[in-house]
Chain A
Amino acid sequence: MMDLEYPPYGGGSAQSTSNQQDFDHYYGGSYGGGASISRREIIEHFADFRRAIHEGPVSLVQHYYNSNYETMIQNYNTDWPSAEALKEHVGDDQLFLTLYKEMYFRHIYASKPGGVSLEERQESYMNYIDLFNLVLAKDHPLKIELPDQWLWDIIEEFIYQFQSFCNFRTKLAKRSDDDIEQLKRNMKIWNVHAVLNVMHSLVDKSRIVEQLEAVKKGVPFHSGGDSFCQTNLYKMFGYFSLIGLLKLHTLTSDYYMALKTIECIDLDVTKQNDVCQVFHCIVATNYHAGFCYTMMRNYEDAIRVFVDTLIYVQRSKPIMVAQTFQNDAVNKTADQMMTLLAICLTLNPMRIDETIYLHLKEKFIDKLPKPLLSVGADGKLPFRDNFAYACPKFISPAPTIFEQRNDSQWAEPFNRQIEVFTEELQEQAYIPDVRSYLKLYTTMSIDKLATFMEKTPQEVKPLLLTFKHKLSGTDTANKTEEDFQSSADIDFYVDKNIIYIADTKITRRYSDYLVKQILKYEELTRSLSEGLNIRHAGNK
C-alpha cells in the first residue's frame, strides 16, 4: 500500500470553482445544440449506470459505458453535469463519483483540446489521485468489476493528461502571469514522480510481471493467497500500467527503459490477445515498441512488429466498428506506423508481407524524400515533417524554467530527438549508394566501387565496414536458413581487394493469389446459381 504524495484533496470543500457557474445554468433545462436530452434523463442514466457498477454484471457496465460516449459525443458541446449535481441524486457514493469525474474531465479534455484551464487540470489530477488511492490503499480488493476497455481508458487518459500538462507548462509564450504563479506554487501537481509512483504501485500490487513471466515459461502462477493479483480489476490495471510506463518512457525519450518495462510481454499480437482483449491497447503497445526499436537502430525488429500489427489492424476492421470513439485513434496510429515502416524499410530493405508492401508503396513510400536526408529548395529537411508526423509527441520531465517566457522548452524535446536521429542517419548516408552499386555485380574490385562513388579506395573501405556494422543485427554465424530468407537482400565479403557479393533472389509467390482467386470464383458461382434457383422458384 503506497501513500501517494500529494496535498490532501479537501474533500467536497474545494468545490466553489468556476464549475459552479457552469452548472448553475443547467437548472434552466435545455442544452445548446445537438439533440436535446433533458437533464433529468442524463441524471437518471447515470443513476442506472451506478447501479450497474455495483450490482453487475460487467457486460451491463460495458453497455452503459459505451452508450455513454455515443450519446454524449453526439451532444459534443453539451457540458456534463458536475459531480455535485449527481451527488444529490445518487448519494454520497465516493467510488462512483470519482469514476464519474474521471469521465467528466475526459470529456472536457476532448471537447476543448486547446483550452483546458489550469484549474480543470489540477482538479482532474486530484481526482486521479483519489481514484488510485481508492483502488490501492485498501486491505481487500475493491468489489466492483469494470470492463477492461474502461480500465485501459483510465490509464491512457492519465498519461495523456500528464503529457498535455507538460505541454501546458512549457508553452510559456501564451501563459498568463496568474497561471505561471499558480504553476510555481503547485509543483507537485502532475509531477513526473507522482505519475511514475502511481504506475509502479499498480504494477507492484497486481504482480503482473510475475504473472506474465509465468505465462511465458508455461508454468502456473502461484499467488500465495494474495487476493489482489487474482482479481481481474487489479490484474488489468497492472497490465495497462506497464503499457502506460512504456508510453511514458517513450515520451521522455528513454527507449532503453521503455523496452525493458515490457520485457515480460510477448509482442506477437496473438499472444497479446490472450492477455488483453482491448484492441486499441495492443495497437498502442506495438506502435511504441516499434518506435523504440527504430530509434535504437534495431530496424529488423521494428519492421517485424509494424508489419505484424498492421496486418492485425486490417483483419480487425469489422470489430473496430463496435468500438466507436477509439477508431480515430487507431487509424492515426496505423498511419504513423506505416510512415515509420517506410522509413525503416528505406534504411534496411527486406522482404515483408505482400499486401502491406503494396499498400505502403501506394501511399507512403513516395511521400518520403529520396534520399532521406535531402535538403529542400528552402534549405530545410522535408524528412523532418515525415518524422514529426510519425513520432510520439515528446515531453521533458525536467522542471520548467518560468523565466524563459517562450516556447523553447516545449520544442526542445522533439528537436533533440530528431537531431540525434538525423546524426545516426548521416552516419549511414552512403549505405544506399553502396548497396545499389553492389547489386549490379557478383564481384567488384574496391577500386571500381571507388570510381563509381567518386571516392578514393581508402574512403570506400570504411563504408563497407559501416555497412556491415550498422546492418548486421545479429552475429552472422548464428543466422540460419530461415533468417536469410527474410532479412537483408544483399550480403558481401572482401577478399584482398575484391568484393564478393551475394544476393538473395526470391521468385514470385503465386500460390496464395491463385488460391484466393479460386475461392472467390467458387463463391461467385455459388451465389449465381443460388440466385438463379430463387428466381426459378419465384417464377413458378
Chain B
Amino acid sequence: MPPVNQPRTNTRAEEVARKLKGIERYNPNCRPMLEDYVQYQIDNNFYDFDANMALLKMYQFDPVNFQGDKVADILLLALTNLPKSDFLLCKYLLDSQKCQENPRIVEALQFSELLESCRFQEFWEQLDRASVKISGFENRIREFICQTINRTYQTISRQELQLALGRLSANEFEGLIKARGWKVLADDANYIWIANHEENIKSRNIVEKIKFEHVAPVMHTA
C-alpha cells in the first residue's frame, strides 16, 4: 500500500523544517510562511503534519491571529492522513467557540465524525454538497476506506463496496478493484474477494510454557 505521508525529499518541506528547529518554532514571524505553506500543500497534493501543528500552536498562543479558513484547511488535510489520529491531535489545540463560528471548520468536523464512525455512504453524500478544493483529497480518503475494508472484510457485496467508495464511474471502479488486487468472485459476480483473513484470524489457545530457568531456583538438592 503506498504510504500517504510522502518522504520529505521535497525541498520546500526541508526549508520549512529548518525554520522550525528548536525555539524558532514558536517565533511569531514564521506564521505567514506557515500559512502560505498550507496553501502549497493543498495545491500540490502534499502533506506536512509537523508544520501544520506549528501553525495551530501559534494560533493557540496568540488567538488574535486565528485564521478560521487556514484551520479548516489544516483539518481537511489531516483527514487525508486517516487512519492516523492527526485530526484528533489538531482538535485538542482548537478553541471550541472559534470552531463553531466558522462554517468550514464545522463542516470538517462533520466529515471527521462520519469517517471515524465509518459511515462512508453518508460521507460521500455530504461531500457532494460541499466544495472541497484540495487536490487528491478524494483519492486519499478512498485509500483510508479501502484500508479499513481490507481489515474487516474477506468478501463484500459489490453494491456495498460501490456505496462505500463514493461516486466512481464503472471504469474507475473496476480499475480500483484491479489495482488493489481484489477479485470478483467467479461463481457470483455480486461479491468481491478482498483478502484472505481465514489464514490469520483464527482462534488460538495460548498454553503456558514453563521454562527451566523459571523453576531452577527451587530445584536444588536438599
Binding site for B on A (CB under 8 A): 192-193, 196-197, 200-201, 203-204, 252-257, 260, 295-298, 396-399, 412, 416-417, 419-420, 423-424, 427, 442, 461-466, 468-470, 472, 476-477, 484-485, 491-496, 500-512, 515, 518-519, 522
Contact = CB atoms under 8 A, between A and B. Distances in A.
Contacts of B61: 192-193, 397-398
Interface size, B (range)? 35 or more
Contact of B148 (A295, A296, A465, A515): A465
Q: Which 9 A-B pairs have the closest CB atoms?
A: A465-B118, A493-B197, A200-B23, A495-B154, A462-B118, A506-B206, A518-B218, A253-B92, A468-B151
Contacts of A257: 53, 57
Contacts, number: 148
A220 B149 CA distance: 46
B133 interface: no
B174 interface: no
B77 to A, nearest CB: 14
Nearest to B114: A462
Interface of B: 22-23, 26, 49-50, 53, 57, 60-63, 83, 85, 88-89, 91-96, 113, 116-120, 148-149, 151-157, 160, 191, 197-198, 200-208, 210, 214-215, 217-218
Nearest to B62: A398
Contact of A419 (B50, B96, B118): B96
Nearest to A511: B210
A416 to B, nearest CB: 6
A122 B153 CA distance: 62
B18 to A, nearest CB: 15
A484 B204 CA distance: 9
A297 B210 CA distance: 35
Contacts of B118: 462-463, 465-466, 469
Contacts of B95: 412, 416
Given A253-B93, A496-B157, A298 B204 contact: no
A309 to B, nearest CB: 23
Nearest to B54: A257
B88 A476 contact: no
Nearest to B145: A465
Given A468-B148, A519-B217, A494 B117 contact: no
For A203, A204, A476, which residue has the most chain B Cβ atoms within 10 angstroms?
Answer: A476
Contact of B201 (A466, A470, A500): A500
Contact of A468 (B119, B152, B154, B200): B152
Contact of A252 (B60, B155, B206, B207): B60
Given A254-B92, A494-B153, 5 more contacts: A254-B93, A462-B120, A468-B148, A500-B154, A502-B202
B22 A200 contact: yes
Contacts of B26: 193, 196
Contacts of A508: 208
B204 A502 contact: yes
Contacts of B148: 465, 468-469
A472, A477, A494: residue with the most chain B Cβ atoms closer than 10 Å: A494
Nearest to A469: B148
Given A507-B205, A510-B208, A416 B217 contact: no
30 contacts: A192-B61, A193-B26, A196-B23, A197-B23, A201-B23, A204-B22, A254-B53, A296-B88, A398-B60, A416-B92, A417-B92, A423-B113, A442-B203, A461-B160, A463-B118, A470-B116, A491-B201, A493-B153, A493-B198, A493-B201, A494-B154, A495-B154, A495-B197, A500-B154, A503-B203, A508-B208, A510-B208, A511-B210, A511-B215, A515-B218
